[in-house]
Amino acid sequence: MPHSTYLPDRMGSARIDPAGRFEAGSFAAFTLTYTAGQFGIDDTGSIKIVHRFASDMGQPQFDRPEAANFVSVEASNGAVLDVRYDNKMNIRPWDKTLYIKVVRGYLKEGEQIVIRFGDPRQGCPGMRLQTFCEETFEFRVLVDAIATYDYVELPEQPTIAIVPGPPAKWVAVLPTLLEAGTPFSLRLKGEDRWGNPSGKCDRTFRLKASGPVDGLPETVTFTQGAFTETIDNLSSSETDHLTIDLVADDGTMAARSNPMRVLGSKPYTALWGDLHGQSEETIGTNSARDYFTFGRDLAFADVLGHQGNDFQITAEFWADLNGLMAEFHEPGRFITIPGYEWSGNTGLGGDRNVFYLTDDRPIYRSSHALVDDVSDIETDATNVNELFERLKDEDCIVHAHIGGRYADVKVGHDIKIERAFEVHSAWGTFEWLIEDAFRNNFRVGIVANSDGHKGRPGASYPGASMFGSYGGLTCFLADDFSRKGVFDALRRRHHYATSGNRIILETHIDFQTPATLYDQDPNMGPTETRIVQQAMMGDIVRSNDESVDFSVDLVASAPVERLIIRNGLSDVETIRPYSEADLGHRIRILFEGAQYRGRGRQTVWYGHLVVDGNRIERTAPVNFFNPDKVLDLKSPQELHWQIITTGGFCGFDLWLETAQTGTI
């Protein structure tokens, strides 16, 4: 318990009105009434109303009663109150704090402080609720009744439920690689405007496949209350690429599945995973059980890891988490990867993800900052090199990543354990991390995950807060659908990272003369070798050929703008699969980057564009993940926008009336 436990039953009570269920991202007004307990609240005493770090509820403001998120606060006895808001004024994960201090007067038992969130009395449209779902969204109340700044949590907290809205987008998911004639499933869902899977679906679509599919019905109907629809026992005997469309009554395409490659025999299994996210037991949202259920049943992931901050994982939660891993682990259907986030300060090496091959392994914490039980403090690893030393005899893999703290791989790196760097997550895109690896001659794979805090692993939308990207996915090219298969793929770098799309990506090299393939990095010591004529993604090969054929096979779920082939830090070739004539009247404008490597990396782009001597016919956003951030076409000559980047890119396309005239 991070706060005082002194007589919570005598510290008063709080209620919220109205209670009930509210649509994610909607506007609503609430009155929270705190009633003082036996001690009242003394002069300079205070209360805090706190929300989770991950919540992107509108930020309270106190100056414009006609605008959204206006909050009013008053005492029933007329006491003067000092009211302020801070995003980090309480112990994590309950960081976001509305602070109310009694500065002239005091409260006796039974007197009240009334807080109106989204106070509608002067025209405020309400508080914008958080954009992701949570059955028990708390307005958590802490009381400093005796003016000691030692807070007590009320024993019963006001809660509401945040639920999905109606579907605004439809999603269809197929396996990525399939052997001809093997049964497969098509998995479908609707998502609301904020990316929450919706059970408010009541619609029928026609199904249209790009090639022959045995067992595919003509239509599929989404029913109220069902968050997904699955069509099983499909098969295809033609070796080709296959997609399946959802077609609306008016003939428009509502969704197209990811591409599926059908082969006569497949050399490996393509498994999609999100290894990195958190639940409410640390800094995320919803329970760890909800986390695994979402990843398996609503994000359609094949592989899932859970990475709680080590300094917040109690021994009890570590045991519970390992039990959940074992319960959900089902080789051939769904793989769980046990582990935790080593959350060392940046100067000590920065964030690392630790993954174990087996359950119930030790946790070597970076600190016990939020864990009161220090009986195992002697096992802590307070810098990254101590971590590598602790892990040297474990069957494990470490990934460097960037979240709140970024991994400084110059402080420490172990080639035997640290096998991959995470270059994309909901926090942004961080190619500089892999560039650090190249500068230091590290041989590592590249992964992408969500690092999600909103309870949506495997399909993690950024919402309306500091997260700037849709969460990533990693495709593991594994020998089999098992935990060991995923680990072997990681150790051989047989995987690729995406920013959330399920593309098909294969690379290989053909040698003119036999070459030597190393089973593991020979820099680690002796390893098995074999003679090959071809090598795949991630392989380490020695060849005497003066030149080799390097092949890239890419089948994407959207048109490809460019393919850049790099040798370390140098660009070798940029391939654009279109000509200038194909662009027609379209111009693309992109912004990208981050302010710096740490937490405050958000770069805000507020801008406008004026066209002289031409007209804008239409526009389309690129990577505008937050529905609050919009393109505003003021006139055929003027466009305004607001958006953020956190390392990745965003922008827009313009279609002009003519291709060659005018000035921007």
What pTM was computed for the model? 0.95
CA dist., res. 634 & res. 650, Å (int): 20
Provide the pLDDT for residue 467: 80
270-503 placed in CATH 3.40.50.2000: no
pLDDT for 595 beyond 90: no
- What is the pLDDT confidence band of residue 404, given thresholds at 50, 70 and 90? confident
Give the architecture (CATH level 2) of 169-267: Sandwich (2.60)
**Domain boundaries, given as residue ranges, for the chain:** 8-163, 169-267, 270-503, 580-656
What one-letter code names the amino acid at 133? C
Task: Check if the beta carbon of residue 44 is closer than 8 Å to that of residue 103.
Answer: yes
CATH code, 8-163: 2.60.40.3490
The whole-number pLDDT of residue 358 equals 96
Q: Is the pLDDT at 628 greater than 90, yes or no?
A: no
Decide whether 169-267 matches 270-503 in CATH topology.
no
Q: Each residue of 90-116: pLDDT tens digit?
A: 999 999 999 999 999 999 999 999 999
Query: 150-162 pLDDT, tens per residue?
Result: 999 999 999 999 9
Closest to 497 (Cα-Cα) out of 426, 429, 424: 424
The pLDDT of residue 466 is above 80: no
Q: Torsion over CA of 212, 217, 220 and 223, rounded to 10 degrees?
A: -150
Average pLDDT of every residue of the chain: 95
Q: How far is CA 233 from CA 84, 322, 492, in A?
A: 58, 33, 33
Integer Cα distance of 329 and 350 in angstroms: 30
Residue 242 in this model has a pLDDT that exceeds 80: yes
Per the DSSP assignment, residues forming a β-bridge with 418 are 398
Strand partners, 424: 429, 448
Question: What confidence category does residue 580 fall into, taking pLDDT thresholds of 50, 70 and 90?
Answer: confident
Inform me whether the pLDDT recorded for 27 exceeds 90: yes
Per-residue confidence at 69, pLDDT binned at 50, 70, 90? very high
- Asked whether the predicted pLDDT for residue 646 surpasses 80, the reply is yes
Give the pLDDT confidence of 138-192 residue by residue, as tens digits.
Answer: 999 999 999 999 999 999 999 999 999 999 999 999 999 999 999 999 999 999 9
Give the 3-state secondary structure of residue 346.
Answer: helix
Rounded average pLDDT over 17-35: 97
Position 1 pLDDT exceeds 80? no
Average pLDDT over residues 386-409: 94
Q: pLDDT tens digit string along 279-300?
A: 999 999 999 999 999 999 999 9
